[in-house]
Amino acid sequence: MTLSDEAKLRQELSTTWRLYELEREHNAKLKQQLATRQTLYHELLMAVESKWPGETRHQTALRYIRQAERSTTTGPAQEFNN
């Protein structure tokens, strides 16, 4: 193996290691984002004190949100859409 080949190999290894480090950092960020979203979703579901008969908490929460969005009262969401 020539000196030039060794330098190329070291560069490739360095690049591979850096990509590995970047992937680990990215995965850690994704895990944190997922944990945050799970916490927020759980909070939203638990805000539904009583689920509607025959529905899951998710379905009831979604129905409540859709009903509120369709209501005739003027709120921030409607002002934004107008």
Per-residue pLDDT tens over the stretch 31-77: 999 999 999 999 999 999 999 999 999 999 999 999 999 986 666 65
Q: Please name the residues in contact with 48: beta carbons below 8 A apart, sequence gap of 6 or more.
A: 57, 60, 61, 64
**Cα 44 to Cα 67: distance, rounded to the nearest angstrom:** 16
How many alpha carbons lie under 13 Å from residue 55 in its C-beta half-sphere? 15
Q: Considering the entire predicted model, what is its pTM?
A: 0.63
CA distance 80 to 51: 30
